[in-house]
Chain A
Amino acid sequence: MVETASRTPASQWRRNSAFYISVLPFFTIFLAFSVFPVVFSFYLGFSRWDGFGSPVFVGLQNYVRALHDPVFQKAVANTIYLWFWSTLLTISLALVLSVAINEYVAAGKTYFRMVFLVPLLVAPAIAAVVLRLFFSANGGLVNLLTGAVTGTPSYFDWLGSEAWIKPLVVLLVIWRWTGWYIIIFLAGLQSISRDIYEAARMDGVGRWAILSRITLPLLMPSIAFAVITATLGGLQMFDEPFVLTQGLGGTNNSATTVGMYLYATAFTQLNFGLGSAVSWYIFAAVVVLTLAYRTLMRRTNAGEGA
């Protein structure tokens, strides 16, 4: 009966004030350093400003200008390429590996659970430095290897190559992130009841059928989470291509992403209006893709329930 006894106005007031005090630090800082900048960015997107003087209102000019800029168009195409291939390959590989670790590995489960996670500890910027060990033109291990095999020394500039730079960025993403998705999928796999498997096995259902009819459908929520996270990260990809191309975007902007375009317009050309407009394009893409994916998931789930 503590409940009713403490429902006096005074204690009610005490409870409410304890609530506001507890959330105050978070919301104050969030308001000051996240909400305020975003509102300001909305205003900047419609302005021309180089950081000096005061911003000039220019309407939709920045949004239109970005669309007509061939570098922006290329950055959009590159971002879609990098997002698509890195998401597809990383999640597929992680799916195969996590099912293998969970179901088929004969020994060393703990080792396999941990080992693929180690690259995630390596900052993307540092990982790019290490990747150059393999792919630099002069003395890179891949060139040393091909030189030794063919007998003629090779000085192929992998990172300067328009054809190879994007696959190398994807390789870097696969290397770093596969372990993260393995952990997500293993958590999902372990939440599937063993009884279902036992029942299926008793009924003589084969391994492959168990995988495609039971494991994968039940793992769908984890896969959805993985795809959404990979999409949020992929659309804003910056660190990996930036460091691999030494901040320049590669030959003919072959690895410039939208995130790098935003950085370059704002912080090297000091065109804060254009940069802000680009950041709202990124936001729009994130919202549209997240909503689209959610609708898709809801529809598949509903279809299965029927």
Chain B
Amino acid sequence: MSKGILGRMSNREKRFNIGVTVALGLLSLFFLLPIYLTAVFATRTLNEVFQFPPPLWFGNNIVQNYANIANVFPPFRPILNSLAVALPKTAGLVLVSSLAGYGLSRYTRAPGHKTLLVVTFATLFFPPSLALIPFFLQMNAIGWLNTFWPLIVPAVASGFGVVWMYTYIGSTVPRELYEAAEMDGAGGIAAFFFVVVPIIRPGLAALAVWTLISTWNDFQLPLVVLGDGTKFTVPLALTTLSTTHYSDMPAVMLATLMGLVPVFVLFALLSRQFIAGLTSGSVK
């Protein structure tokens, strides 16, 4: 394929394209270097990482580094905490968003439809920092501080998710299908579960991956609502570890690596859905 493209070009164009490819290749290595070094340093001893030139290949100190983190906190605890937040939030967000997206996409003639649609789009321009302080006070008032609830329940209502599902359902589910379903006795909410959901499965997967990864990386909201270190999610636990135990750099790097593995695995498995999620907002 690429040979075919090169075949039609002049020598000058070919040389230019090869030059561009090499330059981009080098730049891409530069983008990966920090992550690669994190992995390498996670397997090295303290002395080795402070040498010059620094080690560029894996060592054999990973067990000791793991023991060093285990002295500070159970190494898998932040990962389990992050899962305890991300999984229920994602399930709820996907359900609530697709249901609302379905209603907004199907019942365009219901009274109040237009207003609700406009409000949904307007929420995209709501800066989250506007609600941060009163949200904290609200969580305090209902006794949810220092629990995972504030990170799960309110987060289930995502304007982004609804807009995405509204657009997705509108473009993938043919309207005649609703009439056919009605004749078969599946109207309203039943039609959503038995007719729409099977069709929009790829869209649901894309929204789920996107939600999982962005929730995994959330920092400010967990920082505000979680006070107790045993409840810390991955980014919070790592930030704390790196400020208090930075002198043991290989251990910090190993903890960092462990926190990265779940999202990297998810990305490797579902990168196509993830990218679909990124572009959905821009195509309007």
B130 to chain A: which residues have CB within 8 Å?
38, 41, 279-280, 282-283
B95, B113, B238, B263: which contacts A19 (Cβ < 8 A)?
Answer: B113
Q: Return the CB mask of B99-128 against A: 1 if under 8 Å, else 0.
A: 110111011001101001000100101111
A302 within 8 A of B: no
Interchain CB contact under 8 A, B246 and A136: yes
Question: Given the complex, which residues of A lie within 8 Å of B99, measured CB to CB?
Answer: 22-23, 25-26
CB interface residues, A 114-129, toward B, < 8 Å: 114-119, 121-129
> Which of A18, A23, A97, A106 lies in contact with B2, CB distance below 8 A?
A106
> Is B146 part of the contact surface with A, judged by Cβ < 8 Å?
no
Verify if A65 is at the interface (C-beta below 8 Å from B).
no
Contacts of A121 in B (CB 8 A): 213, 217, 260, 263-264, 267
Q: Which residues of B are found within 8 Å of A145, using beta-carbon distances?
A: 52
A35 CA / B179 CA spacing, docked (Å): 36
The 0/1 profile, CB within 8 Å of B marked 1, for residues 95-138 of chain A is 00100110011111101101111110111111111111110100
> What distance in Å separates the Cβ of B263 from its nearest Cβ neighbour in chain A?
5
A128 and B149 alpha carbons, distance in the complex (Å): 27
Smallest CB gap from A239: residue in B: B219
Q: Which residue in B50, B111, B140 is a CB contact (below 8 Å) of A139?
A: B50
Chain B residues whose CB sits within 8 angstroms of the CB of A148 once the complex forms: 52-53
Instruction: Tell me whether B50 and A144 are in contact (CB under 8 A).
Output: yes
In the complex, how many residues of chain B place their beta carbon closer than 8 angstroms to a beta carbon of chain A? Answer: 102
Q: State in angstroms the CA–CA spacing of A283 and B243 once bound together.
A: 32
B34: contacting residue among A23, A108, A133, CB under 8 A = A133
Give the contact stretch, choosing among A68-76, A84-92, A160-168, A179-187: A179-187
Q: Are A44 and B217 in contact (CB under 8 A)?
A: no
Q: Check A290/B125 contact, CB under 8 A, given A38-B134, A121-B264, A243-B239.
A: yes
Cβ of B238 and Cβ of A126 under 8 Å apart?
yes
- Contact residues in B for A256 (Cβ distance below 8 Å): none
Of the candidates B34, B133, B154, B282, the one having the most CB atoms from chain A within 10 angstroms of its own CB is B133
In chain A, positions 173-223 with a C-beta closer than 8 Å to chain B are 175, 178-180, 183-184, 187-188, 191, 222
* Docked-complex contact A2 and B239, CB < 8 angstroms: no
Q: Which of A114, A126, A238, A263 has the most CB of B within 10 A?
A: A126
Bound Cα distance A267, B138 (Å): 14
Q: Which B residues touch A14, using CB under 8 A?
A: 187-188
* In the complex, per-residue mask of A23-49: 1 if CB is within 8 Å of any chain B CB, else 0: 101111110111011101100100000
B226 at the interface (CB under 8 A from A): no
Alpha-carbon gap, A14 to B185, bound state (A): 13
- Does B96 count as interface, using CB distance less than 8 angstroms? yes
B242 on interface, CB distance cutoff 8 Å: yes
- Distance, CA A121 to CA B17, complexed state (A): 29
B282 touches A184 (CB 8 A): yes
Residues on A with beta carbons closer than 8 Å to the beta carbon of B100: 22-23, 25-27
| CB under 8 Å from chain A, chain B span 213-241 | 213, 216-220, 224, 234-236, 238-239
User: Closest Cβ of chain A: how far from B279's Cβ, in Å?
Assistant: 4
B255 to chain A, nearest CB (A): 9
Q: Which residues of B contact A109 (CB under 8 A)?
A: 2
A286 contacts B by Cβ under 8 Å: yes
Interface contact A130-B104, CB-CB below 8 Å: no
Tell me the bound Cα distance from A14 to B188 in angstroms.
8
| Contact residues in A for B35 (Cβ distance below 8 Å) | 118-119, 122, 130
Pick from B5, B127, B162 the residue with the most CB of A within 10 Å: B127
Contacts of B2 in A (CB 8 A): 106-107, 109
B116 and A27: CB pair below 8 A? yes
Per-position 1/0 for B202-218, Cβ under 8 A of A: 00000000000100111
Q: Is the CB of A41 within 8 A of B279?
A: no
6 extra A-B contacts, CB within 8 A, seeds A40-B134, A126-B234, A148-B52? A51-B140, A105-B21, A112-B28, A175-B31, A259-B129, A266-B132
Q: Give me 27 A-to-B residue pairs in the complex whose CB atoms sit less than 8 angstroms apart, sorted by A's number.
A: A2-B179, A16-B107, A17-B188, A18-B103, A19-B103, A22-B103, A22-B107, A25-B99, A27-B100, A29-B153, A30-B157, A40-B134, A44-B133, A104-B21, A106-B2, A106-B5, A106-B18, A116-B28, A118-B35, A119-B34, A124-B219, A133-B253, A139-B49, A139-B249, A144-B52, A225-B284, A286-B125
